[in-house]
Copies of this chain bind each other. A is one copy, B any other.
């Protein structure tokens, strides 16, 4: 705990890729997430010799580096990875259901010292309701936010 926030330690992996195609990288993101990565993202970077390249970043459990590295070396053109230990500060998470005029939605809550400081409609439950009801996704978000506030 640090000032009311939960903490944990995770590993961030970064690698600069200048000879992988975006098609391959998009598919690699899916494989890393399926294998348990906590988060995966790409950052556009400029590398030497005018290369419009990409940095692949992965957040994973500290003991989970090797399977992540195996995927990256297997799927992409990487010859090396950079690793760093990262301390995360986190809100405590809780999930609640709210009723909206379009259907039931899950709201993700973030708590500090037991107090709710963050409330966000959960994407996949909103998408499911949006598809079923034919309403725009953001109409579902707004309806879920209104329902949460009424409680």
Q: Point out residues on A near B: beta carbons under 8 Å.
A: 2-5, 10, 12-13, 16-30, 33, 39-55, 59, 65-66, 69, 73-84, 86-91, 93, 108, 110, 112, 117-118, 120, 123, 127, 130, 136-138, 141-142, 145-146, 149
Q: Are B81 and A22 in contact (CB under 8 A)?
A: no
Residues of B within 8 A of A43 (CB): 43-46, 55
Please give me the residue from chain B that is nearest to A68 by CB atom. B89
Q: Are B81 and A84 in contact (CB under 8 A)?
A: no
**Complex Cα spacing A112 to B69, Å:** 11
Given A27-B137, A108-B79, A118-B77, A50:B48 Cβ within 8 A: yes
Given A18-B23, A41-B16, A91-B80, A138:B86 Cβ within 8 A: no
Q: Are B47 and A41 in contact (CB under 8 A)?
A: yes
Q: Are A53 and B108 in contact (CB under 8 A)?
A: no
CB distance from A118 to the nearest CB of B (A): 6
CB distance from A151 to the nearest CB of B (A): 13
> Can you name 15 A-B residue pairings with CB atoms under 8 Å?
A5-B66, A16-B39, A21-B77, A23-B51, A24-B138, A25-B51, A26-B49, A26-B50, A27-B49, A43-B46, A75-B138, A83-B87, A83-B88, A84-B86, A146-B146
Residues of B within 8 A of A25 (CB): 50-52
Residues of B within 8 A of A110 (CB): 73, 79
Please give me the residue from chain B that is nearest to A46 by CB atom. B42
